[in-house]
Structure 1
Amino acid sequence: MATELHDTIFVAKQERHKNLFLNYKNINIFPVELLKDEGLQFLERLYMKRNSITTLPDNLAQKLPNLIELYLHSNNIVIIPEAIGSLARLQSLDLSNNALQLLCPEVGRLRALRHLKLSNNRLHCLPPELGDLQDLETLDLSMNQLRSLPERLHRCLFLQNLTVDHNLLTHVPRQLCWLRRLNHFSLAANRLSFLPLDLGRSRDLQFVFVDDNVDLKGLPSFLYNKAIGCSGCGVSPQAPEADLSEVPGAALSEVLVGLPAEVKVVGSERDSVVPLEELAMRRLHRLYRHRRPMDLSPLPPISLPKSLLDLLQFPVGHCHRCSQAMFTIVYPKLFPLRETALAGVHRRTTVSFVAYCCSSHCLRTFDLQG
């Protein structure tokens, strides 16, 4: 096998191949033949899936500077070197089915990267620098041990497909609702109890899958009439099923456990006055946010705590009826699934749609199918 591997690489060097296939070669150590002398300066695509490689060389970018695609699916890689950030032309990186426990921040330097696959590893967290991959289109993080996602992912403005199935997520950063090109978002088999209030507000987001999140009882009404996967949601093994259609608005904070921490008040149809703190935040938002929705530049200096400045830039949500930004209070209105047109599609769930409104007036006049 070693002779065959040597011959394959030798021919690739002699004939200046742009593609090199080293799949299923029982390779334990990254082949030194690829790194000798000047390396393979002309190589653009390297396929090394289903081997037993444990590490990558530090001089990978130096010896293979023109790599566009690197496929390392199904190896035993535990760590990738910081030098990988020097692969300036890399567009596709597949590290699925490895043993990665840590992703180095230098991955954020791969500014040409469009497709990143990290499924079936042992990742517990991700570096914020992933948000620097502004050309990224596909990100697969399924089957890891992630408990959160970096808020800075909202900077990946071209992201279209985000898959985070089979992790340990308890929440989704509301900032991800600003991914205007996101079309497919899969969060199945996590530990979610609520979703961002604005999820589905973007017209481009058409496919959302949250199956097997047993504590998830409500879907934002923005998701109505979109392709939704929600089987196995709404019934917690620790508690009996609740009939949400009979729950008063003021008690929804107890039933829909896990509303964003910033939501301090749950309003009802009887409330006619919005709290002063909320009115002040809305006023500040109007003063400092007269910009296009895609303008994510920092806000002008204001003498407020950082938490409130972050909230001004990324509100908890927007009214599902009038689009008013909301910060500390929401007025939820439930539409049990059995009363909607989707009841026949999702029979293995007790999840409901929830409209989050900014006032008692919008609460009374909102119609899910209007």
Structure 2
Amino acid sequence: MATELHDTIFMAKQERHKNLFLNYKNLNIFPVELLKDEGLQFLERLYMKRNSLTSLPDNLAQKLPNLIELYLHSNNIVLIPEAIGNLARLQSLDLSNNALQLLCPEIGRLRSLRHLRLSNNQLKYLPPEIGDLQDLETLDVAMNQLISLPEQLHRCAALQNLTVDHNLLSHVPRQLCWLHRLNQLSMAANRLTVLPLDLGRSRELQFVFVDNNVDLKGLPSYLYNKVIGCSGCGISSHVLAGDVGEALGEVLSDTLVGLPAEVKLIGSKTDNVAPLEELAMRTLHCLYHHRPADLKLLPPISLPKSLLELLHFPLGHCHRCSQAMFTIIYPKLFPLRDTALAGVHRRTTVSFVAYCCSSRCLRTFDLQG
């Protein structure tokens, strides 16, 4: 095997190969032949699937500077070196099915990266620097131990496919709704209790899968005309398959639908005036986001950090008129069993929820509209 490996790498050097396949080679360490002398300066794609590698060399970028794709699926890699950030041309990195416990911040230096696959590892969090990957199109972190996602993900402006199935997420940042190119979002088998109010507002987002989040009882009404997966949602763990029909017959109330932590008040059909704090936030938002050019000379807004962040990223937008909302919402429930989708999604007690900005929008909202 050693002789065959040596001959394969020698030939790749001699003939200036761009692709090198070292899958299923029983490798315990990264081959030193790849790192000798000047390395493989012409190599663009390196495939090392299903070996037993536990680490990567620090001089990987120095010896393989033109790598575009690095495929390390199914090894035993625990840690990737900080020097990974020096692979300036890297577009695809697959570290699925390894033993990663930590993702170094230097991953954010891979500015050419388009596809990052980290499924089936032991990651508990992602570094905020992942938001620096502005060309990233695919991020797969399914089957890890993530309890949260970094808010900075919204800076990955090119992201189209985000997969976070089988983690420990109880919520996802509302900033994800600013990913205007996101087409598919999969969050099945987590611990979600609430979804961002604006989820689905973007026309690009067409596929949303939240199956088997048993404590998730409400879906933003924006998702009604999308392709959604919600089997097993809203069904407590003690409800057995035979009891689903009975569970569906229960009357859902506002208190049964999870709400974001920023919500301070829940409005009703009889409320005519929003609270002063809400009106002030809406006015500031309008002033600083839709102001004429001459108003740009206004001094920065002095607000507590939490409110300033909320000002830049509202809690949501009215599902009826698109007014930004910050501290109060007017929810209107549409149990899925009463909609045209009831026959498609049977094993769920979830409801669609319209989040409105006023009693007027609440009264006039129509799910079919």
Range into which the TM-score falls when normalised by the shorter chain = over 0.9
Letter in 2 for 1:255: L
Correspondence 1:153-168 to 2 at 5 A: 153-168=153-168
Q: Deviations over 1:145-168 (max 9, x none)?
A: 000001000000000000000000
Matched residue, 1:288: 288
| Change in CA separation of 1:246 and 1:92 when aligned onto 2, cut-off 3 Å | closer
Matched residue, 2:343: 344
| Change in CA separation of 1:186 and 1:300 when aligned onto 2, cut-off 3 Å | farther
Correspondence 1:105-120 to 2 at 5 A: 105-120=105-120
In 2, are the aligned partners of 1:185 and 1:207 still within 8 Å (CA)?
yes
Matched residue, 1:45: 45
Q: Quick one: distance in 2 between partners of 1:92 and 1:150? A: 21
Matched residue, 2:316: 317
Letter in 1 for 2:353: V
Q: CA deviation at 1:237?
A: 2.3
Correspondence 1:83-98 to 2 at 5 A: 83-98=83-98
Matched residue, 2:26: 26
Q: CA deviation at 1:187?
A: 0.2
**What SS class does the counterpart of residue 284 from structure 1 fall into?**
helix
Q: What value does the CA root-mean-square deviation take over the aligned residues?
A: 1.5
Q: Quick one: distance in 1 between partners of 2:249 and 2:260? A: 22
Q: Deviations over 1:260-284 (max 9, x none)?
A: 1110001111211211110111011
Q: Quick one: distance in 2 between partners of 1:326 and 1:287? A: 15
Matched residue, 2:305: 306
Q: Quick one: distance in 2 between partners of 1:291 and 1:320? A: 23
In 2, are the aligned partners of 1:244 and 1:334 still within 8 Å (CA)?
no
Could you state the TM-score of these two structures normalised by the residue count of structure 1?
0.94
**What SS class does the counterpart of residue 224 from structure 1 fall into?**
helix
Correspondence 1:165-314 to 2 at 5 A: 165-237=165-237, 241=247, 245=251, 247=253, 252=254, 254-257=255-258, 259-290=259-290, 301-314=300-313
In 2, are the aligned partners of 1:244 and 1:336 still within 8 Å (CA)?
no
| Change in CA separation of 1:184 and 1:315 when aligned onto 2, cut-off 3 Å | same
Q: Deviations over 1:288-342 (max 9, x none)?
A: 11279xxxxxx96211011111000000000000000000000000001111111
**What SS class does the counterpart of residue 225 from structure 2 fall into?**
coil
Q: CA deviation at 1:255?
A: 1.3
Letter in 2 for 1:160: Q
Q: Quick one: distance in 2 between partners of 1:323 and 1:162? A: 25
**What SS class does the counterpart of residue 120 from structure 2 fall into?**
coil
Letter in 1 for 2:339: T
In 2, are the aligned partners of 1:59 and 1:83 still within 8 Å (CA)?
yes
In 2, are the aligned partners of 1:288 and 1:300 still within 8 Å (CA)?
no
Letter in 2 for 1:329: I
Q: Quick one: distance in 1 between partners of 2:149 and 2:44? A: 31
Letter in 2 for 1:173: P
Letter in 1 for 2:142: S
Letter in 1 for 2:256: V
Q: Deviations over 1:52-93 (max 9, x none)?
A: 000000000000000000000000000000000000000000
In 1, are the aligned partners of 2:248 and 2:337 still within 8 Å (CA)?
no
Q: Quick one: distance in 2 between partners of 1:300 and 1:176? A: 28
Q: Quick one: distance in 2 between partners of 1:12 and 1:286? A: 60
| Change in CA separation of 1:123 and 1:300 when aligned onto 2, cut-off 3 Å | farther
**What SS class does the counterpart of residue 308 from structure 2 fall into?**
helix
Q: Quick one: distance in 1 between partners of 2:291 and 2:49? A: 47
In 2, are the aligned partners of 1:98 and 1:120 still within 8 Å (CA)?
yes
In 1, are the aligned partners of 2:186 and 2:210 still within 8 Å (CA)?
yes
| Change in CA separation of 1:291 and 1:349 when aligned onto 2, cut-off 3 Å | farther
**What SS class does the counterpart of residue 154 from structure 1 fall into?**
helix
Q: Deviations over 1:234-269 (max 9, x none)?
A: 11126894867563xxxx1x2113x11110001111
Letter in 2 for 1:335: F
In 2, are the aligned partners of 1:245 and 1:334 still within 8 Å (CA)?
no
**What SS class does the counterpart of residue 85 from structure 2 fall into?**
helix
Residue-pair matches, total: 358
**What SS class does the counterpart of residue 311 from structure 2 fall into?**
helix
Q: Decide which moves more: 340-349 or 46-55.
A: 340-349
In 2, are the aligned partners of 1:93 and 1:117 still within 8 Å (CA)?
yes
Letter in 2 for 1:171: H
Q: Which runs of 5+ in 2 are unaligned?
A: 240-245, 293-297
Q: Quick one: distance in 1 between partners of 2:274 and 2:336? A: 29
Q: Quick one: distance in 1 between partners of 2:230 and 2:30? A: 43
